[in-house]
Amino acid sequence: MTILNKKFPTKYTTAPFSKIQINEFKSAIEAEIVKTKAEIDAITNTSETPTFENTIEALEYSGEQLDRITSIFFNLNSAETNETIQKIAQEISPKLTELSNDITLNEALFERVKAVYSEKEHLNLSTEQQTLLDKKFKSFSRNGANLPQEKKEILRNIDKQLAKLSLTFGENVLAETNKFQLHLTLENDVKGIPAGALEAAKTLAESENKDGWIFTLNYPSYIPFMKYAENRELRQQMATAFGSKCFKGDELDNQENVLQIAKLRHQRANLLGYKTHAHFVLEERMAETPEKVISFLEELLEKAKPAAEREFKQLSNFAQKIDGIEQLQSWDNAYYSEKLKQELFDLDDEKLKPYFKLENVIDGAFTVANKLFDLRFKQVFDIDTYHEDVKTYEVYNGDDNFVAVFYADFHPRKGKRNGAWMTSYKPQLRKNGSVERPHISIVCNFTKPTASKPSLLTFNEVTTLFHEFGHALHGMLADTTYPSLSGTSVFWDFVELPSQIMENWCYEAEALAIFAKHYETGEIIPMEYIEKIKASATFLEGMATLRQLSFGLLDMSWHGIDPSSVTNVKEHEDKAFNKTRLFPENPKTAMSTSFSHIFQGGYSSGYYSYKWAEVLDADAFEYFKEHDIFSKEIASKFATHVLSKGGTEHPMTLYKRFRGSEPKPEALLKRAGLLTE
Q: Which position among 32, 468, 541, 614 bears the catalytic label? A: 468
Nearest to 435 by CA among 445, 443, 444, 426: 426
Nearest to 577 by CA among 542, 553, 560: 553
What span, in angstroms and rounded, lies between the C-alpha atoms of 297 and 614?
12
What span, in angstroms and rounded, lies between the C-alpha atoms of 218 and 148?
48
Half-sphere exposure of 281 (CA within 13 A, CB side): 25
What span, in angstroms and rounded, lies between the C-alpha atoms of 490 and 477?
14
Identify any residues that bridge with 394 across adjacent strands, giving them in sequence order: 378, 405
3-state helix, strand, coil in the chain (%, to 5): 60, 5, 30
- For residues 442 and 411, the answer to whether their CB atoms sit within 8 Å is no
- Radius of gyration for the alpha carbons in the chain, expressed in angstroms and rounded: 25
**Helix, strand, or coil here: 143?**
coil
What span, in angstroms and rounded, lies between the C-alpha atoms of 150 and 286?
33
- For residues 554 and 591, the answer to whether their CB atoms sit within 8 Å is yes
Nearest to 282 by CA among 492, 77, 593: 492
Nearest to 496 by CA among 386, 400, 609: 609
111 is catalytic: no
What span, in angstroms and rounded, lies between the C-alpha atoms of 512 and 351?
15
What span, in angstroms and rounded, lies between the C-alpha atoms of 201 and 561?
44
What span, in angstroms and rounded, lies between the C-alpha atoms of 597 and 615?
21
Would you name the residues annotated as active-site residues? Answer: 468
